[in-house]
Structure 1
Amino acid sequence: MSIFSNVRHLSLQELVPLLEQQQAAKVDVVASADSLRSNTGMMELFGVSPVVDERGVTSVDGLYQPTTAADGQIADKLGIPIRYLRRLRDRDRLDLYDSNVNGWLHGPVSNDLPEPDDRSFLLRLFTSAGPCEPGVLRAMVSDRYGIIDNLDVLAAVLDGIRGAGADVEVRDCDLTESSMHCKVYSPQVSALAPRFLENYRSPFANPELEAARRAVGGEVDRWRRAAASEGKGYEPGSEPVMFAGFRFSNDETGHRAVRLTPELWVKICGNGLTLPLFAHTHRHIGERLDTGTVSWSQDTYRKKLAVITAETRDKVAEWLSPEFFAARVDELEHAAGAPVTQPERTMEVLAKRLGFSDTERGGILSHFIAGGQLTAAGIANAVTSYSQTVPDPDRASALDDLAVHAMTLV
C-alpha cells in the first residue's frame, strides 16, 4: 500500500500507520524562484539549505516529480493555462513544459518576455524512497500558507470528540497524496426513515456494482454482518434506519482546509448523505515565512490545533444531538417521495446542473436502477452508493456533498 497513491475505505487502524509513514517522508521548505527550475518535467531545487531536525540533516536539493495537484499550482502561480501544461505532460513534450515553466521563473528579459520572478514559494515535498529516485513535489503554495498536518488534525478532532462526550465510531477513512477524509457515526443516535428508504435495496446486491466497490477497497457485507450482530439487521431492501454522523477532512497542499460536515448515514449499505449547508471550515492561513527550512513555533502550532479541537467539540455536540438529527431526517423524509418517471432524462438534467461527467452520469444511473427506488430519494441514494466506487477520494466526497441537492432538484 503506497503512501503516494489514493487509498479508499481504510479503517482507523489502517490509516494511522500510513499517516506516520507520510509524516516521516515530509519536508517543507520556502524556496525563492531563482532556486527552482524545471528539468524534464520535474522540479529541481538547487542551493537550498538542508533541513536539520530530529531526523538529522536532510539535503533537499534534487529532483521532485510534481503530483497532478502540484502541476495545477505551478500553472496557477506562473500564469500558465493548466490545460496547456497538462497537455504537454500527457503528450510527453517535457521540453516545452520546461521552457514554459523556466521562462516564467527566470526570464530571459526582453520586450515580450517577463521579468524573472522575485517571489518565494512554500514547497511541500516527500523525500525520495531511494538514492537514485526523485522525490515528490506535493504542493507549490504561497509562503503564507499555514500548514496543519493530517496526523495532527486526526488527533485534534479525536480530542474534540472526546471533549463532547460523544459515543462514536470511525467507520471509514480515505487517504491521498494531499488529503485525508474520515467518516464518523454515532451508534446511539438513530432514527427511522421509512419514506427515504422505502423500496430501496442495496445496489451492491448487483455483482458488477459490488465488484466496482471492492475494486477501490472495503466490503459492504461486513456492515450487514455488523448490523445483524447488533440487533439492527433487516432483510435486504427493508432497512429504514439512519444514523447521525459527520465527516472531517484535511488538505495539506493548499486547495482546501480542515472541514467538518454533518452526515446522515445508512449503515446497512454504507450510503452517507452529507449536509454541506452546515459545514464548518478552518482555512490554512499563516504568517509570511522566511526563505529556507520551515521552522514552526510549537506554541503557535499547538494553539492552532487547540482551536480545531474546540471547534470539533462544539460541532459534534450540535450535530449529534437528537434535536438536530431529528430535524434533518424530517427534512429528508419530506423531500424523498417526488417520483422519477424518466430516469435517463432526469440524469441528463442533473448532470448538466451539477457537473457530473459522462462516466458519473452513467454510473449513477446504473446505481439508481439497481436500487429500485423510482423517487427523489432513489437519486440521492444512487449518488451516495456510486460514490463508494469512485477511486478518487476527493471526487467521491464532492459527489456525496451533491446528493441531497440532487434530490431537491427532482
Structure 2
Amino acid sequence: MQELTTRAVVVTPGPDGTGAARNAELRDLVKALTHQHARKADHVVSAGRMRAEGGNLLMTGHAPLLSAEGVTLTDQALRPTSVADEGIAEKLRIPLAYLRRMRAELPALYDANVNGWLEADPSRKLMLRTFTSGDGDGGVGVLRAVLSDSYRRIDNFDVLVSALEGIQQTGHEINITGCDLSDRRMVVRIESQSVRVMAPELLKGYRSPFNGQTGDELPIVSAGFVLANSEVGSGAYTLTPRIVVRVCRNGLTMAKDAYRAVHIGARMDEGLIRVSEDTDAKHLALIQAQTRDAVSTFLDREYVETKLRAIEREAGREVADPAKTIETISKKLRFSEAVQQSVLNHFIRGGQPTAGGILQAITATAQTIQDADAAYELEAQALAAMALV
C-alpha cells in the first residue's frame, strides 16, 4: 500500500548521486542538484560496447588504467535505476515486468536476454546518462537512463537557474512553495504574491481537511504555475499553469495550457558527451524566454478568472453516491487502492458533495503522498477526474 503523509519530506542525495526531495525549500533543491551535477557523466555508446553482467550494465573498454604492464582499457559497471530499467526494456523490446523479474530472481537469465538483444545490433548507438561511482560502492556507478543518441539534454540545475532568471526579469513577485526531486523529474511550484481572485462559488461549503477552515471564510485562489523537467526521458521541460486554493493549499493544474520544450536534438557521435557553451546558451535563453511568457500569461488576473469560471461551471454538479463515483474514477484513471481510499476520506472531510468536492479531494490527497512522482501525476489528473463525474 502506498504510504501517505502530510509531512514535508526532504531526503538528501546518497553517496551514489541518487536521492530525492519532497516539499523541499529552494535551498535544499539547489544543494541536491549541485551534489548530482558533480557526479554526472553522459556517454553515447554502441551496443557492441555494452553487456549485462550480474544484473548490472557494463560499458566495456571505458577508461584507461595505467599499470606496470602499460595502459589497458577497463570496464565500468553501472547499476540501473527503475527509470533505466524502463529505457533498457523499451530500447531492447523486452517486457518491463519480465525484465525486472529476471534481474530480481534470475540475474543470469537477465544477462542472457539483454546481451542477446545487444548483440543483435552491435552498431546501434544509445545515450547512457550516469552518475559516476563514489566511495564505498565498489566502483559501481549508477545508470540513470538509457536514451536515444539524439536525446537533447536539458538539465535540472540549468533549467532552474534560467527559469528563476526569467522570472526575475519580469519583476513579478513570487513565492516558491515547494520543490520535488526524484530519479524521474524535478518539480518546482511557483505562486504569485499579488494575483489573487475571489472564488466563492468554487469554495462554497468546502472545509479544509488539514486545518478545518472553510472556503466561505477564505474564498480566495492565487495564480501560479509548475516548472517541471526530466533529465531521463520522462517528459519534456514544461511550465504548467496552476491555481492555488488558499484555504487548503490544493493546486489545480491545467495541463492543456502548458508550455513544453521536448528533449530532441541531432544525433551525436560516440563517446563522452561535451556540449559547447554556445549550444547551452541557446537552450537556456529559450527557457528564460518561455518562463517570461509563462509569468505574463499565467500570473495574470484575467487569465485566472477565465479559467476559474470554467472550472466553477463543472464543479457544481452534485455527487449522489460518492463512494461509487470515486471508485469509477479510480478505475478509469488507475488510482491505487490507497489513493482511492484517501480521496474518499478527503471528500468526506471536505464536506462539499459536488464534482468540485472530488476535485478538492484529489488535490488534497496529492499533497499528502510522499512519492514525488505519484503526487505530481495525481494532481495533474484532478481536473480530468472532475470531468468524469
Deviation at 1:358? 2.4
Report if the CA contact (8 A) 1:160-1:309 is conserved: yes
Cα contact 2:151–2:265 (8 A) shared by 1: yes
**Residue matched to 1:35:** 49
Is 1:332 matched with 2:287?
no
Is this contact kept in 1: 2:63–2:76, CA < 8 A? no
Amino acid in the other structure paired with 2:313: H
Letter in 2 for 1:203: P
Q: Report the equivalent of 1:73.
A: 87
Instruction: Give the number of aligned pairs.
Output: 366
Tell me by how many angstroms 1:237 deviates.
Answer: 7.3
**Matches for 1:182-193 after TM superposition, within 5 Å:** 182-193=188-199
CA distance in 2 between partners of 1:71 and 1:205 (Å): 41
1:281-320 pair list within 5 angstroms: 281-320=260-299
Alpha-carbon offset, residue 386 of structure 1: 0.5
Once the two structures are aligned, what percentage of the paired residues are identical? 42
1:273: Cα distance to partner? Answer: 0.5
Which sections of structure 1, spanning at least 5 residues, go unmatched? Answer: 51-58, 107-114, 207-233
> 2:115: which partner in 1?
102
How far residue 307 of structure 1 moved from its aligned partner, in angstroms, is 0.7
Q: Which amino acid aligns with 2:233?
A: G
Q: 1:306 Cα shift?
A: 0.4
Partner of 2:332: 353
Other-structure match for 2:168: 162
In structure 1, what residue type is equivalent to 2:12? S
Indicate which of 225, 230, 245 corresponds to 2:224.
245
- For 1:125, the equivalent position in structure 2 comes to 130
Residues 44 and 269, structure 2, Cα contact 8 Å, conserved in 1 = yes
Tell me if the contact between 1:248 and 1:261 (Cα under 8 Å) persists in the aligned partners. Answer: yes
| Corresponding residue SS for 1:138 | strand
Assess if the C-alpha contact under 8 Å between 1:78 and 1:104 holds in 2: yes
Report the equivalent of 2:346.
Answer: 367
| 2:67 corresponding residue in structure 1 | none
Equivalents in 2 of 1:156, 1:303: separation in Å? 11
Asked if the contact 1:33/1:118 (under 8 Å) is kept, the reply is yes
Structure 2 segments unaligned to the other structure (5+ residues): 1-10, 65-72
Normalising by structure 1, we get a TM-score of: 0.85
Instruction: Summarize deviations over 1:337-358 as a string: whole Å, max 9, x none.
Output: 2111201110121112222222
User: 1:325 Cα shift?
Assistant: 1.0
Aligned to 2:202: 196
**Equivalent in 360, 365, 378 of residue 386 of structure 1:** 365
The residue number in structure 1 matching 2:106 is: 93
The amino acid of 1:28's aligned partner reads D
Note the C-alpha offset of 1:235.
6.3
1:13 pairs with one of 9, 27, 31: 27
Distance 1:60 1:205 in 2: 58
C-alpha separation between the residues in 2 aligned to 1:43 and 1:204? 46
Contact 2:206 2:214 in 1 (8 A): no
Q: What SS class does the counterpart of residue 182 from structure 1 fall into? A: strand
Classify the secondary structure of the residue corresponding to 1:263: strand
